[in-house]
Amino acid sequence: MKKINLLKEKIFFLLLLTFQVIVSQNNNGSIDVMGDIAIIAVNRISTPSSQSDYAFVLLDDCLAGTKIYFDDDDWTGSAFSSLTGEGVSEWTNNTNKTLGAGTVIRVNFANNNGTTSTTNIGITNEINGGFNLAAGDQLYAYLGAERAPTVFLSFWGETNAINGSETAVLTGTKLSNGGLDLTNGTTARVTANIGYYNGSTDCNGSISDCAAMINGGTIVSGSFTWPTGVKTAFKGSALPNKFFGTTNTNWSTATNWGYKTVPSASDHVRILNVTNNPVINSSTSGVSNNILVDASSTLTINAGGSLTISGNLTQNGTFNILSNASTNGSLIVQGTSTGNVSYLRHVSTNWHLIGAPVEGQSINSLSGEVETNGNNFAIAPYLNSTTSLLRWNYYTTNAGTNDIASSGNFLAAKGYTFKKKTVAGTVTFTGTINTEDQPISITDGGDNPSGNRWNLVANPYTAALNATNAADATNNFLKVNIDAGNLDPTKAGLYLWTGATPYDVKSVDDAAFYIAPGQAFFVHAPDGGGTSVSFTEAMQSHQTGNIFLKNTTSYPEIILNLSGGKSKSLTKIRYIQGKTTGLDVGSDVGTFTGTGKSNFEVYSHLVNSKFEDDFAIQALPNSNFEEMIVPIGVSAKSGQEISFSAALSNLPVGLSVFLEDKENNTLTELSDADRNYSIALNKDLNGTGRFYIHTTSNALSIDNNDDLQNINIYTINTSTLRITGLSVEKNEIVIFNMLGKQVFSTSFIANNVKDINLLNLSAGIYFVQLQNNSGKLTKKIILE
């Protein structure tokens, strides 16, 4: 029996301790228990009129209409010693708003002869004359009514514990509420001095920890000039900046917040269950330290808005991130995260390559969102270990071979093809957010036609990722994975589906490019596979506008376009300092072949390299332009008419671009947007050897004038040039070598035929340009 009784006593003691914690600070959004405020200053100045001042900090929220009484009489254990002779100062929250925890109330001239005192927030009246503070005095704060406390909140002053002649005590201050009495160093400050608290304003941990820090902290003793030295606000995880929605739902409206300021990056934030739930609107960049979202409350980031949480996210309610057709919301959590977040990604009814920006989203739960075709749902992962017709492994009904009911969740950083049904709109991905680096294995599925090395991966974060050097010189997807050797050296780029063929190819040198949350793209594994691409937290970036291209490039670039009927293709040639005529990994990027070799395509081969790969992007040095002749490859079917044109940017002044067609013995300038070169194909094209790009500061060729069509230029032996079809007028001849350098010039007047001696020219290929009043004509000759 003794053991049983002892056990009962232990249980009772634990229950008592639990009850004492409960009746102490309970963080329930109102000033209602001991320790919900702390007195932080008591002052008295003789002039003027023996002025008495005090200040206190709210350690819980203070509802509109709350009254707190400050009494300078002695509490003797069950009552105040005298109903007369001492005074009572009554403070009221008359703002019609809830005041947030951490707010400091400063009362100046509290003993203003029964009239209203000067108070920074709320209103204070001396309701019982005789309120005078001084060293050795007492100041009790309580709820209830004048001299009739129901809850003691805080204390500053002298008790008989330090002065035996005093009648003031802290015992009995728990009243009938249970728990503990006011206690020195936790909910009370026992001191014979007036002065002000001079410690930290960072209140972390619990409200109890905060109260103990204040009541046990150092003070500056003695009278002082009011309110010099008095703290103006307290912050920290124990006293978060709470969203009350007093004015509206706008995160950026200061009056909605408990601190009456919009959260800073150091502020801890709590989202309460209120009528006006907070919304981070477009173009708003919200910041915070920790964020707690209460149960039944909602936090929303609108499309175009962003939020950076430098601490931790605790999500117990609803957290939505929205997007629309042109922009997206963005969230970065630099600490840890618990609870689910919903990312509402906008998609059209076209095909998209997507991934989940959160973890835990069921694939099957989206089956009602996508198109169907027989047993197939329009959602599929990409398989690289099979033939091209089977590489999109569509999920099916249970009548098919890839039952969507057994598909599980979207895998982190894995890409899928997806086609929404009916109308454009948002698709909701709900789950926990990634707050760690996220690698994903990429594989070599074999050689065509039975497989390939293409892998479909996706941004696993709720924010965009830096993709290129211009987006971030260090923390970008391509640089990180190129430096680690994770990608095929000849195809170390991003390959993005934009809704139309061909795929958009990005190199590390591209203009600032960002991968949208949940956006999927192809990468090419090294021969043999065995690597993983890395998505890192440090790559994250808030890009809430048009995230794909933020600025143009500064290097010289030629975009060579090929068109034929409805088919289009392009290849890019760039001139960048530090690049070579050989392979520059990440700068020279091969073409996309993940859906098979294209029947209509233009590409280049490296100027000087053992590689025979087809390149969508080639980077060359930004010097000696005339010495670099770029082989151009074409894939096109017989019977087509194809047309070349070029878009040029940042080329040196005076530098022209020419397309050489060796088969037709022509050289066509493409320097202007309205210039093109068109031919009808009488056989299939598939490779290089016919077309070349030349860059030169001299005019190698212009469109030949029809008036010169009867003129012929050719060699009659190894050193003689013959021109026929001439009329009697002045003619000028200029000859250029293959590098565009002028090597010969002359002028003459002749009728019909003119022979020109070229003994000083060595064997090789030259371009002869004739100009007269009828125009210009350029022809290629070969001296053997």
pLDDT digits (tens, 9 = 90+) for 86-99: 889 999 999 999 99
For residue 468, being part of any structural domain is answered with yes
- Specify the amino acid at residue 726: L
User: In terms of domains, do 286 and 371 share one?
Assistant: no
The per-residue pLDDT for range 419-429, each reduced to its tens digit, is: 999 899 999 99
pLDDT at 697: 80
ω into residue 449 within 30 of 0, thus cis? yes
User: In terms of domains, do 379 and 400 share one?
Assistant: yes
Full domain range(s) for residue 617 = 557-696
> Does an H or E element contain 308, and which?
strand 306-309
Question: From CA 533, how far away is CA 488, in angstroms rounded?
Answer: 11
Point out the domain boundary residue: 221, 256, 280.
221
Q: Residue 544 — very low, low, confident or very high, per pLDDT cuts 50/70/90?
A: confident
The per-residue pLDDT for range 201-210, each reduced to its tens digit, is: 999 999 999 9
pLDDT at 505: 97
Q: Residue 49 — very low, low, confident or very high, per pLDDT cuts 50/70/90?
A: low
For residue 297, being part of any structural domain is answered with yes
**pLDDT of residue 48 exceeding 70:** no
Point out the domain boundary residue: 696, 718, 753.
696
The per-residue pLDDT for range 129-142, each reduced to its tens digit, is: 888 899 999 999 99
Q: What is the mean pLDDT of residues 73-86?
A: 87
**pLDDT of residue 408 exceeding 70:** yes
User: In terms of domains, do 384 and 510 share one?
Assistant: yes
**What is the number of other CB atoms lying within 10 angstroms of the CB of residue 566?**
6
**pLDDT of residue 23 exceeding 60:** no
**What is the number of other CB atoms lying within 10 angstroms of the CB of residue 228?**
9
pLDDT at 590: 98
The per-residue pLDDT for range 631-685, each reduced to its tens digit, is: 999 999 999 999 999 999 999 998 999 999 989 888 899 998 889 999 999 999 9
pLDDT at 12: 36
Buried b vs exposed e over 37-49: b needs ≥16 C-beta within 10 Å? bbbbbbbbeeeee
User: In terms of domains, do 688 and 710 share one?
Assistant: no
Q: What is the mean pLDDT of residues 345-351?
A: 95
**pLDDT of residue 546 exceeding 80:** no
Q: What is the mean pLDDT of residues 433-444?
A: 98
Q: Residue 739 — very low, low, confident or very high, per pLDDT cuts 50/70/90?
A: confident
User: In terms of domains, do 96 and 163 share one?
Assistant: yes
More confidently predicted of 541 and 750: 541
Q: Residue 8 — very low, low, confident or very high, per pLDDT cuts 50/70/90?
A: very low
Question: From CA 101, how far away is CA 206, in angstroms rounded?
Answer: 12
For residue 479, being part of any structural domain is answered with yes
Q: In a 3-state reduction of DSSP, which class is residue 774? A: coil
Q: Residue 499 — very low, low, confident or very high, per pLDDT cuts 50/70/90?
A: confident
User: In terms of domains, do 580 and 463 share one?
Assistant: no
For residue 234, being part of any structural domain is answered with no
User: In terms of domains, do 467 and 604 share one?
Assistant: no
Contact present, 559 and 570 (Cβ < 8 Å) = yes
Q: Give the CA angle between residues 243, 248, 251 to the nearest 5°.
A: 50
For residue 701, being part of any structural domain is answered with no
The per-residue pLDDT for range 439-498, each reduced to its tens digit, is: 999 999 999 889 999 999 999 999 999 999 999 999 999 999 999 999 999 999 999 998
Number of domains in the chain: 5
Return the percentage of the chain with pLDDT > 70, whole number: 93
Q: Is 116 exposed, middle or buried (0-12, 13-18, 19+ CB in 10 A)?
A: exposed
Range scoring the smallest mean pLDDT among 590-594, 691-695, 726-730: 726-730
Helix then strand then coil, % of the chain, to nearest 5: 10, 40, 50
pLDDT at 24: 60
Point out the domain boundary residue: 191, 221, 251.
221
What Rg do the C-alpha atoms of the chain give, in angstroms? 40
pLDDT at 182: 98
Return the percentage of the chain with pLDDT > 90, whole number: 79
pLDDT at 554: 84
**pLDDT of residue 20 exceeding 70:** no
For residue 217, being part of any structural domain is answered with yes
For residue 444, being part of any structural domain is answered with yes
User: In terms of domains, do 51 and 143 share one?
Assistant: yes
User: In terms of domains, do 374 and 334 share one?
Assistant: no
For residue 548, being part of any structural domain is answered with no
Choose the most confident range, by mean pLDDT, from 78-92, 490-504, 540-554: 490-504
User: In terms of domains, do 580 and 711 share one?
Assistant: no
**pLDDT of residue 584 exceeding 80:** yes
Q: Residue 545 — very low, low, confident or very high, per pLDDT cuts 50/70/90?
A: low
Domain containing 749 — which CATH number? 2.60.40.3080
User: In terms of domains, do 685 and 710 share one?
Assistant: no
* Closest of 51, 103, 58, 43 to residue 228, by C-alpha: 43
User: In terms of domains, do 285 and 202 share one?
Assistant: no
The per-residue pLDDT for range 168-190, each reduced to its tens digit, is: 999 999 999 999 999 999 999 99
